[in-house]
A and B are shown apart, each in its own frame.
Chain A
Amino acid sequence: MAHETHTHVRSQTEYEYIRRQRSKEMRGQLTSFAIMIFLTLIAFTAVAADFSPYLITPIILLLAAVQVVLQLYGFMHMSNKGHGMVAFFMFSGMFVAFITILALVTIVWW
C-alpha cells in the first residue's frame, strides 16, 4: 500500500540509462531556451526597427504561438509519457476559448 516504502537499488545499466535520458532532456531544455531567447529577440527587433504594424502584429502573434508550444513541450514536460489527457483537456479548452472569441469578434464587435 501507499504508506509502505519500497527501496529499490538501481543496477549499473539502469543508472546509466537514466543518466543518458536526463542529459538528453537537459539538452532539449537548453535548446528550447536558446530558441525562445532568439524568438524574443526577433520580436523586439521587429518593433525597434519600426516596421509597419501590419507586419509586426502577425509576426509577434506567430512567435507567441511558437513560444507557447515550446513552453508546453520543452519545459512543462508535455512530450513525456502520461500527458495525453492533460494535452487533450488543454487543447479542448483552447479550442472552446478560440471558438468563443472568434464568434464574439465576428458577430458582436465586427
Chain B
Amino acid sequence: MSSIAQKKGFGAAMWDYLTTVDHKKIAHLYLASGGIFFLIGGIEAMLIRIQLMKAGNDFLSAGTYNEVLTMHGTTMIFLAAMPILLAFMNAIMPLQIGARDVAFPFLNSLGFWLFFFGGVFLNLSWFLGGAPDAGWTNYASLAIASEGHGIDFYALGLTISGFGTLISGINFLVTIINMRAPGMTYMRMPLFTWTTFVASALILLAFPPLTVGVFFMVFDRMFGANFFDVTMGGNTIIWEHLFWIFGHPEVYILILPAFGIFSEIFAIFSRKRLFGYTALVFATILIGFYGFMVWAHHMFTVGLGPTANAVFALATMIIAVPTGVKIFNWLLTIWGGSISFTTPMMYAIGFIPSFVAGGVTGVMQAIAPLDYQLHDSYFIVAHFHYVIVGGVVLAILAATHLYWPKMFGTMLSEKLGKWTFWLFFIGFHLTFFIQHFLGLMGMPRRVYTFGADQGWDLFNAISSVGAVFMAAGVIILLVNVVMTSIKNERVGNDPWGDGRTLEWAIASPPPFYNFAQTPLVRGLDTFWIEKMEGNKEGMVYAEPLEEIHMPNGSFVPVVMSFGLFVASFGALYNMDGDKGWTIPVIIIGLAITFGSMLFRSLKDDLGFHISKEELMRDVKGGKSDGLK
C-alpha cells in the first residue's frame, strides 16, 4: 500500500470504502448514509406536512400516516442525526487530539456497517408489508396490538444498529482516554472532543436499557413472552420507563456534540479563546449526569403519583442551569470578538435564540400540572423540533460547512451556503413556531387529520409552507455539494484562516496516516498558539519522523453485519409460524456472523508499516493529501 496518488476506478474506490478501517473514510460513509437517511426522513416529513396542509385531507390514509410519522421520527433520530454526528466525531475528534486513528479501527468499521444494515433493514419494511406504526417511542400497549411486521422491523433493526452505536461509543471513549497526543491533558481538549467524550459515555450507559426493552419486545412478539401484556400479569409501563431511561440520555447524545460543534464555531469565527472553557466542560459533564435522572418527565400523565412527578419535575428544571451556563459562555465568547459572518457562524448565531426558545418550552413542560395540559399536543411537537432542529440539525448543517474542507479538501460555496441558511432558518421557524399555538388551541399530535370547523386550517397551512422553505434549503445544499465537487478547487490546511485546534494544522483532507509525527500540545487551542508564535509549520513535534504502523483494511465487518441482517429476516418471518424456511435462514445468518468472528479471531493480521522514506517523500512533495 502506498500513499502515492493514484487514479482509481469506481470499483476500486468502492472496494476501498467497503474494506476501509480509516476513521476519515468511515466518516465519509457515515456522512453519506446518514445524509441519505436524512433525505428519506425529510421526504416523510414533507408527506406529513402535505397531509396536514388542509382540513380533512385524504392524501395519506390514517394507517399510512401512522407509518410515515413513526418512520420520520425513528429515521431522523437513529439513522440521520446520530450517524451524521458520528461522522463528524470520526472525522475530527482523532485529529483534534493528535491521534493516529481511533483505538479500534476494525470496530469502528464494524460499528458503521451494523448501523448501515440495521437502517436498511428498518427501511425495507416499506416494501415488505408495512412500516412500524406505533410512533418512534413504540409504546408497548400500541406496539403489541400492531398487526403485520412493522414493529418487528423496528425492534430487530434498532437492535442491530444499536449494537453499532454502542461499539462506536466505546471506541471513542477508549480513544479519548488513551490516545491523546503528549501534552493534551483533559483540560486542554477542544470542546468538540469533550462533548464527544461525554456523549460516548452516555451511549455506553443509555443504550443497554433500550436493548433490554427491545429484547423484551422481540420476546413478546417472537416467543409469546408476556413482559408487557397486562392480561398475563405483565406491565406495559415498563416499556415506557425502559424507553425513556434510554430516550432522555439519547437526546443529550444528540445535543452535546451539537454544543461542541457550536463551541468550536464561536471560538473560530470570533477569533477569541472560548469564554469560560472550564465552565463549559463542567456544564457538559453535568448535563450528561442529570440526563439519567429526568426520564420520567416524559411520563407525567402516566399516573406515577404526585411524589414521583414532583421529584422528576424539579430534577428536570435543574438541567436548565448548566445549559444556561453554556448559553452565557457562548454569548460572552462572541462579545468583543472580531466576528466574521461565515455560513457556520450564521448557523451558530441562529442556533442561540432557536435553542433557547426550545429550552424555555422545555422548562414549561417540566411543570407537571401544566404538562397535563400540554401533553400529546402540538406544543410538544413544537418544543422538540425547536431543540432538535434548532439545536442538532443547525449544528449538523453548520458542521457540514465548517468541516467540509477538512473532510473532502474543497470549500462549499459560501453564497449558496447562506441561501441554505436563510431558507432553512426561516422555514424552520415558520413551520414550528406556529405549532406552539396549534398545541395551545388543542390540536393533538399523531392524528392524521383535523376538521374544518376546528379553526386550525390557517396555522397548519402556514406550517406546511415553512416545510417547503426547509426543503428548498436542503436542495440548495445538495446543489452546493455537487457543484463544489465538480469544481474541485483544493484548499490548504486552514481554509477558514482562523482555525484554533489541531485538526487545522494538518492537510485537508489529511493523509491516511494523519500526523506524520505526533504533535506536542502546549496548551488549549494548540494550533492557534503555534500560529501566534510565528511557527510556520503550525505544530511542534513530540517525536522524530519514524516508521508508522497501520492496520490493514478488512472486509470482515461487512460480512459480520450482513450475517445479522440475514438472520433478522429469518427471525422476522419466523413469527408467522407457517414458514419452514425461516429457521435455516436464522442459522445461516448467525453462521455467517459467528464464522466471520471466528475468522477474525484466528487469522493474525499484523498490519503494515509505512517506511520513513515514503513519509519523507510525502512531506517534501507536499503530498500529504492521501485521498486523491
Contacts and interface: CB of A to CB of B under 8 A. Distances in A.
Contact of B549 (A1, A96, A100, A108): A1
Contact of B292 (A99, A106, A109): A99
B235 A108 contact: yes
Contacts of B205: 92-93, 96
B210 to A, nearest CB: 12
B546 interface: yes
Contacts of B305: 107
Contacts of A93: 204-205
A2 interface: yes
A85 interface: yes
A108 B547 contact: no
Interface stretch (B104-112, B237-245, B458-466): B237-245
Interface of B is mostly: helix
Nearest to B205: A96
B264 to A, nearest CB: 25
Contact of B609 (A3, A89, A92): A3
Interface string B228-260: 000000010110010001000000000000000
Q: Which one of A1, A2, A96 has the greatest number of beta carbons of chain B within 10 Å?
A: A96
Interface string B288-311: 000011001000000011001000
B322 interface: no
Nearest to A1: B546
Given A3-B609, A99-B292, A104 B546 contact: no
Interface residues of B, number: 22
A108 B201 contact: no
Given A3-B549, A96-B292, A99-B293, A108 B237 contact: yes
A106 B307 CA distance: 11
Nearest to B209: A100
Interface in B290-348: 292-293, 296, 304-305, 308
A89 B546 contact: no
Contacts of A96: 205, 292
B304 A107 contact: yes
B483 interface: no
B177 interface: yes
Contacts of B304: 107
A52 B388 CA distance: 54
A103 interface: yes
Interface string B211-232: 0000000000000000000000
Nearest to B609: A3
Interface string A75-110: 000000000010001001100100110011011110
Contacts of A92: 201, 205
Interface in B545-567: 546-549
B241 A103 contact: yes
A106 B209 CA distance: 18
B201 A1 contact: no
A107 B546 contact: no
Contact of B204 (A89, A106, A107, A109): A89
B235 A2 contact: no
A17 to B, nearest CB: 27
A2 B241 contact: no
A42 B549 CA distance: 54
Contact of B241 (A1, A85, A104): A104
A78 to B, nearest CB: 16
A104 B227 CA distance: 14
B235 A100 contact: no
Interface in A41-68: none
Given A3-B609, A99-B293, A108-B238, A89 B201 contact: yes
B175 to A, nearest CB: 13
Contacts of B547: 1, 3
A106 B173 CA distance: 33
Given A2-B549, A89-B204, A107 B235 contact: no
A69 to B, nearest CB: 21
Nearest to A86: B177
29 contacts: A1-B546, A1-B547, A1-B548, A1-B549, A3-B547, A3-B549, A3-B609, A85-B177, A89-B173, A89-B201, A92-B201, A93-B204, A93-B205, A96-B205, A96-B292, A99-B293, A100-B209, A100-B245, A100-B292, A104-B238, A104-B241, A106-B308, A107-B296, A107-B304, A107-B305, A107-B308, A108-B235, A108-B237, A108-B241
Interface of B: 173, 177, 201, 204-205, 209, 235, 237-238, 241, 245, 292-293, 296, 304-305, 308, 546-549, 609
Nearest first, the 9 A-B pairs at minimum CB distance are A107-B308, A1-B546, A107-B304, A96-B205, A96-B292, A85-B177, A100-B245, A3-B549, A2-B549
Given A89-B201, A108-B238, 16 more contacts: A1-B546, A1-B547, A1-B549, A3-B609, A85-B177, A92-B201, A96-B205, A96-B292, A99-B292, A100-B209, A100-B245, A103-B308, A104-B238, A104-B241, A107-B296, A109-B235
